Amino acid sequence: MKLLSVKDLETNQKEIEFSIDRPTFDAEVDRVYKKNVSKFNVPGFRKGKAPKHFIEKMYGEGVFYEDALNNLLPDAYGAALDESKLDVVSRPDIDIKSIDENEVVITAKVFVKPEMKIADYKGLKATKNPVSVSDDEVDAEVKRVQERNARVTEVTDRPAKNGDEVVFDFDGYVDGKAFEGGKAEKYSLKLGSGQFIPGFEAQVEGKSIGEAFDVNVTFPEDYGAAELAGKPAVFKCLIHGIKESELPELDDEFAKDVSEFDTLAEYKADIKAKMEENANKAADAKVDEQLMDALIEKLEGDIPEAMFENEVDSCLRDYENRMRYQGLDLKSFMQYTGQTMEQIRETFRPQAEKQVKSRLALETIAKLEALTASDEDVEAEYQKIADAYGMEIDKVKEAVPADSIREDVVVGKAADLVRENAVITEALSEETAAEEPKADEEAK
């Protein structure tokens, strides 16, 4: 491969011209011929035995060219790209310019990362919300832990009541006809959870094991299935089992069972500290979001559309992976929601634009401030990733290139610089804001 030239086209677009020498090309054509010769029928020759020049004479000289070029192009283009030193952000638009006795000349039109401008990125203003965790919030968290540690027992001597879990069959009818999704056997439902349509669960209360009964409800007007919305329905039900949860006492023994603390007071104090830490992180994230929004407003330059589309692709891949963990694929999701791929991509567009612009803003600041990442910084980042994912650091290094890590570290330093030089004010709490007018009135 030989890089011939790099030409400027429109804004942020380049044309890379490179060549493949004829001996290399001819050798690949021969390999393609040997791999595919059995597919050609040439009069006078047994199938798979026709010489290459006879096939070329019958089907055209370039009969094997396309496959040969497809085989050679990835490495040839990659080498040309490395030599050009371009920071390409799009797939190449490839064109075969010429094929002669000396070489194959190829052009690739690509978009490159833009040169952006940004100023006044120090002294940005942001407001941080006050962080407070009430005793009620702590008690609510303790209550959730208490419910997770409840002892579930079978009930046989009384009817179902609110809070019980019932195991039952149901078979639904609208206008006297069964409808899709309206039937299940031995379904588990916690009464009072609001899992079913309004009025359903209340009618299950008071019913006993082995009892058959009807539940009469009306689907909400805004129900997801249009053919059922607003219509009355009858569900024929039969209860097979009732379970109740017995909550443990909230005392020191409970704290010992669910934590490393000896007393309930210590356990609650730890929960409060962790909740305050998480609330602080959330408040800091909101500050960072304000600063990024301010940076984006100051960013100047033309951004290739390909960068936004690439980021949408990345968001979509992440979304698909999350769905797979839930046992759902994208095709099924589109069928359930009635959305097209174009509509789904459009929902990710604002997020993608913000991520691309934020990254470009921070990269531009890093250049202006001459920020760098040392080998120690890179090693520390590798270790951070390894710890986060529970992987061996060598495995992380195999999966993630050092250059990518280095770029991320530099961008992180730029974000730190913006944050450290920002003017961040604490917002007034609701209580303080309510008291201020009273104080002003008393001063008068």
Range 2-111: architecture per CATH: 2-Layer Sandwich (3.30)
- Dihedral of alpha carbons 66, 72, 75, 81, sign: negative
What are the sequence ranges of the domains in the chain?
Answer: 2-111, 151-246, 303-363, 369-444
Angle at Cα 182 formed by Cα 176 and Cα 186, nearest 5°? 125
What gap in Å lies between CA 444 and CA 439, rounded to an integer? 9
- pLDDT score at 435: 58
What gap in Å lies between CA 284 and CA 279, rounded to an integer? 9
Instruction: Tell me the per-residue pLDDT of 247-278, one tens digit each, with 9 for 90 and over.
Output: 899 999 999 999 999 999 999 999 999 999 99
- The parts of the chain modelled with pLDDT lower than 70 are 428-444
- pLDDT score at 181: 82
Residue 344 per-residue DSSP state: H
Range 151-246: architecture per CATH: Roll (3.10)
- pLDDT score at 436: 57
Element at 375 (helix H, strand E):
helix 375-389
306: left (phi over 0), alpha (psi -120 to 50) or beta: alpha
- pLDDT score at 430: 58
Structure token digits, residue 428: 């007034």
Q: In angstroms, how far apart are the furthest CA atoms of the chain? A: 113
What gap in Å lies between CA 266 and CA 246, rounded to an integer? 24
- pLDDT score at 443: 54
- pLDDT score at 24: 96
